[in-house]
Structure 1
């Protein structure tokens, strides 16, 4: 089984990492979502690949079991916010891209909610502990925000940004 202290990697990199077209796409995604490295893209690609694999494997099941598992998978992806509609189909799952997953990261949602001026500042605010979800500090920019948690994202109660958010002006260093 393996040592529980040594977790296996949760991503799979590209088989040919130096293809020029892929390098360009990866650079665009890194800039758009403020990612630290390509590993974060590969994690998103692996997650989407796994969801798509689950959807393809459902096609081989008998109709009764397929309907039950299809609803479960669609509900899971809807709760995660990856699917937009609750009444989606397997075709919607098969058409997912890594951008659908990257849109659900805490870093992206903090930026889109206006809690940070830039996507890079959103990452910094999260890692420095200024962002909380329902009062609980989250320091991982790659945290996948569930649909129900999206409205609960705010500054941590003891953060200096709570009184003086970046959108209204910079925090004075002497006050912080």
Structure 2
């Protein structure tokens, strides 16, 4: 019976350390905001968290999660701004300092993003400044091979 107690205490300590690590490593970085995946009604589905820009992806870490990785990842090139909407009266109770909600569309679904004006503008700027997929070269070996073919004919 004592062994079960030790195992439970050890498991509790591990969970506590994981929560502390998550809280300290994520909370002090990125932009704070709320995110929810659609469809959702009323105030259901909103999750508090931190957004971190990581190269070509936006990573969302829920504050109440113990996962060691991000909870949601949105690809920069696959995510588009679908528009804005005003905050409802019910939503204003859980997020009093927020006046507008940003609606995002991505291959994984539609999301709503709520944060202060600066974080919202930063996200929109980051998304809109991404190069279009057609502007990106798929394979850098193809232009090199074409260049080599031209040299072969000259020899």
* Shorter-chain TM-score above 0.5: no
Quick check: which has more Rg, 1 or 2? 2
- TM-score interval w.r.t. the shorter chain? under 0.3
More strand by share: 2
User: TM-score, normalised on structure 1?
Assistant: 0.22
